[in-house]
Structures are given as C-alpha cells and as structure tokens.
Amino acid sequence: MINSKETKRVSFTDTLFFLCGPDMELCCPEEKKKENTGYKAKEAAVMKFTKMQGIGNDYVYVNCFQETVEDPSEAARKVSDRHFGIGSDGLILIKPSENADFEMEMYNADGSQGAMCGNGIRCVAKYVYDYGLTDKTRISVDTKSGIKYLDLTVKNGRVAQVKVNMGKPEFYTENIPMKHKKEKVIREPLAVDQQVYEVTAVSMGNPHAVVFMDDVKGLDIKEIGPYFEKHQAFPEGVNTEFVRVLDEKTVEMRVWERGSGETLACGTGACAVAAACVMNGYTEEEVTVKLLGGDLKIFWDRKENTIYMTGPAEVVFDGTIEL
C-alpha cells in the first residue's frame, strides 16, 4: 500500500527515462531538446484598445504612446472581423508626431493602409482629449494625406462634437488619381459591369467616385460596389458614393469604401459628395449629408477653397485582445 505522505513527485522527463531507458533521446527527442534549451512557449501579445464610432463608422483605436503594434495590417484584419475579432471597419493607431500634435495611422478591414478617414479623425480628437493626452480644444493631426486641424466642442468634460478642416477638394484626374482623357470628370459617363453611370471624380486626400441617382435605398450596393472599387480607371482603387439629392440643403448617400465594403458612414465621402453637389449645381455650399449611421454637416468655403466637416464621436468600449 502506498502512503500518500511518502509519495514522490516525478517529472515527465523521469517518467520517459523509466519507460525508454538510456534511449530516451531517441524515444522523445523534442522533450530532450526542451530540457536542454530551456524551451518556453511563445506568449501571445496582448493589446489594449478602445472601440469608437462616428455615426456608425467604427474603428478600433490603439494608444501608441503606450502600446506597440508590430504588424498593423495583420492586426487590422484580426480586430475588424465581426465574428472572430472585435468587429470594426478597420484599425487606427494614435501616435506621437514631430509635425503635429498627434499622428493618425489608419488601416482598412482588409489590412490595406488608408490615407484619411473623416469619421476616424473625429474619434481621434475625442480620444486624445477624453483620455488625457491633451487639454487643448484645437489640435492638429498628421495623416497620410497631410495635417488636419480640428476644433473640439466639450460638454461636461467630454468631447461631444468635432469640426474638422478637411482641406480642399481635388478635381484634376491626375491627382485623384483617375485614368481619363479629360482633366476633370464632372458627371461623365463610366461603364461599370456592362452598365453606364454618370460619375463625378474628386479626391479628399483619397479617391472618390460620386454617382447621383433617384433611389439609393433599393440599390444592390454589395453587387455593384466591388466593380467600382476595382475599376481600371482608378489605379489605386476608389471609394464610391451613391447619392440622392433631397433639396438644396440636404442629400442622402450610401458608400462602398475600398478595403472595407459598405460602411454606415464615410467622412471624406460626405465631403466629396458635398463638393460634387456644388460642382453639379445641385445644392448650396452648406449641406446636410444623411448617411446610414447619422448626419454630417459639410460646408465648402469657396473663398478659402476649404471643406469643413462637423459631426459627433463616441466611445463604445475599452478592452484587451491577444494578437
């Protein structure tokens, strides 16, 4: 009978020696290797994040003053997955900048890097103020499409609304970029998937194709969106806005974003739509753009040739995830 008090604990290696004898290394070479090299299983990297949204355009935000993301493209694909990840339209890194108060580095849901996100930059402004990275209500943020300037409206110690200087709209096709025989494409025909659409091309630091139509709610955007996104006329791909003009001060739109598909909102897209509306004579310079996730106020100051976007930003939740 075995006395439990006298029982000796034996290691897995001792057990293998008992079973295999002197030939233990041949019996289980991996265990011998682990014992000799001090092998340890690789620990998963844990990343702190904040999920935020601007009228439904949701991203995962990471404070890179504290966190390091080794592979942002892979991280973006993982966190964006709405079944196996956090669920978002992409990943945005908030980083130190030598040229501005902060830098915003954004990645789409497919891992591709984007140049600019209007809804995303409003959330960056809310994050840096609400989480104590700044106490200023006017900040600058460096992006891949240049430095943007933001005015923060604070209520009860939290940012409720952000006005963004989005810069000037660009209509020259070579700068969008778009392959076309004309210098500017203002409601010009474009064949897409065996159908002809009238397109207005504009860049807000990223390329947009604006299509005016009588009905956007019944549009099969998942069918036609990818054909626009990968169209040969746009060598870098394109975001496509499908727009219905309601009156001189109001339009509604749906958007298919390159790298993310249909999203509830697109800030740069709303700015591109406002500029396209004015260029086509459909609306005034100040317009409310109604998106699936909510409304944005867009004003194109023609004297300054600058577009201003105003809208909300909200925190959804904080958390951690293994990468």
Alpha helices in 103-200 (DSSP H): 118-130
Contacts of 220 (CB under 8 A, 6+ apart): none
Q: What are the residue numbers of the active site?
A: 117, 266
In a 3-state reduction of DSSP, which class is residue 224?
A: helix
Our measurement of the distance from residue 178's CA atom to the centroid of its chain's CA atoms, rounded to an integer in Å, reads 23
- Of the candidates 250, 269, 265, 161, the residue with the CA atom closest to the CA atom of residue 208: 269
**Could you say which DSSP state residue 264 is in?**
S
Q: Which tokens go with 252?
A: 């509604």
Buried b (16+ CB within 10 A) or exposed e, 164-195: bbbbbbbbebeebbbebeeebbeeeebebeee
| Cα–Cα distances in angstroms (integers) from residue 120 to residues 116, 201, 272, in the given order | 8, 22, 16
> By the 8 A CB rule, do 117 and 123 touch?
no
> By the 8 A CB rule, do 238 and 231 touch?
yes
> By the 8 A CB rule, do 97 and 89 touch?
no
CA dist., res. 225 & res. 30, Å (int)? 52
